[in-house]
Structures are given as structure tokens and as C-alpha cells.
Amino acid sequence: MKNYEIITVPHPALKQKAQDVQTVDDAIRAQMDGMLRAMYDAPGIGLAANQVNLLNRVLVMDLSKPDKGEEPNPICMANPQVIYESEDISVMEEGCLSIPQQYAEVERPAIVRVRYLDYHGKEAELEAEGLLSHCVQHEIDHLNGVLFIDYLSSLKRNMILKKVEKLKKHEAL
């Protein structure tokens, strides 16, 4: 299995648009496995290819709660497409492994339906609400080079970027 390192802002790959995969083959499955490992290690609930410096449209998620005795429930997607979004809005606090230790409330469509290719390359659909809805929209945003801080005022965004810069300097010491 590949060992991926998660990149953080202001890495340029986080601002780039990822490209569709042709098919979900063994190489893509190995990427999905490696991304899940990196996500579980972090730990986080979602990870997009851009965050491991790959620019293909692959994302992984797992919202299960192992500390509450729940079994892992990995969801792997290639070429995800939002085919429905509700007019109802949901506001939730979001964070991001590429923007460590920073959180802010983000407004998104409350319910979305996503069409994608699964781990086996089969077309599948997911209807999501609540945390899963925020998570899948957040990860699809990554594939389009969009971060949750892009929804904030520039003042708030710059504050967060400065805090991460400080944090990284501190960790490097």
C-alpha cells in the first residue's frame, strides 16, 4: 500500500482542479486504499486526492465512530458528480486535514445526491444529509480546488492561514 503524506495550505495542489479518472483499475484502488490509511491515521472523516498531491477525481470518506464500537464504513468515490442539491441549507462547523486545527461554520445545501464510480468501478449513487452531506460536498470541493475557508470573508480566511503558518513553524522547530 502506498504511503501518502497529507499536504497543507498554502500548497498549490490544493487550488488546482483534479481530472476525471478513465476507469477504476488496480492503481486507483491502491490509491483509494492508501488514502483511507492516511485519513484514518490523521485521523479524519474525509480525504480528496488533491490533499495527497494527486490531481485525479478520487475521494474517500468514513463517518463511522470506532470509539463508539462502530465497524469501519469506508466510502470510496471516483468522478463524483452532484446530481441533486436541496434548496434547504445546512450550517455546520467544518475542519480540514489540510488546514490543521482550524474550524468554521459553512453553509451548504442540506441534502445532495451524488453519482460516482465505486471501489469496483460500478456506477453508484449516494443521497446524503447532515454530516455526510457536508463531508461529501467538502471533498468534491477539494477536487475543484476549493477549500472551506474560501466561503469565509477574506479577513477570516487570512487569519486562519496565518494561524496555520504559525502552527507549521512551531512544529518545524
Catalytic residues: 139
Nearer to Ni ion, 14 or 21 (CB): 14
The nearer residue to Ni ion, 20 or 150, going by C-beta atoms, is 150
Measured CA to CA, the distance from residue 150 to residue 129 in angstroms comes to 22
The DSSP secondary structure of 102-129, one letter per residue, reads EEEEEEEESEEEEEEE-TTS-EEEEEEE
Size of the site for Ni ion (CB under 5 A): 1
Q: Output phi, psi for 89, to 5 deg.
A: -110, 145
Minimum distance, C-beta of residue 36 to Ni ion, in the bound complex (Å): 15
Q: At residue 77, what is the residue type? A: M
Nearer to Ni ion, 10 or 22 (CB): 10
Beta bridge partners of residue 127, listed in sequence order: 113
Instruction: Take residue 132 and report the three cell numbers written for it.
Output: 455526510
CA-based nearest residue to 1, from 45, 53, 38, 46: 38
Shortest CB 122 distance to Ni ion, Å: 26
Binding segment for Ni ion among 20-28, 60-68, 96-104, 113-121 (CB under 5 A)?
Answer: 96-104
Which of these ranges, 21-29, 89-97, 103-111, 121-129, lies near Ni ion under the rule CB under 5 A? 89-97
Q: How far is the CB of 135 from Ni ion (least distance, A)?
A: 9
Cβ proximity to Ni ion: between 121 and 151 the closer is 151
Q: How far is CA 41 from CA 1, 52, 97, 106, 126, in A?
A: 14, 13, 11, 25, 25
Task: In whole angstroms, give the CA distance from residue 76 to residue 73.
Answer: 10
Residue of 96, 106, 110, 135 that binds Ni ion (CB under 5 A):
96
Least distance from Ni ion to the Cβ atom of residue 147, Å:
7
Span from 35-43, 94-102, 105-113, 124-132 in contact with Ni ion (CB under 5 A): 94-102
Binding residues for Ni ion, per CB under 5 A?
96
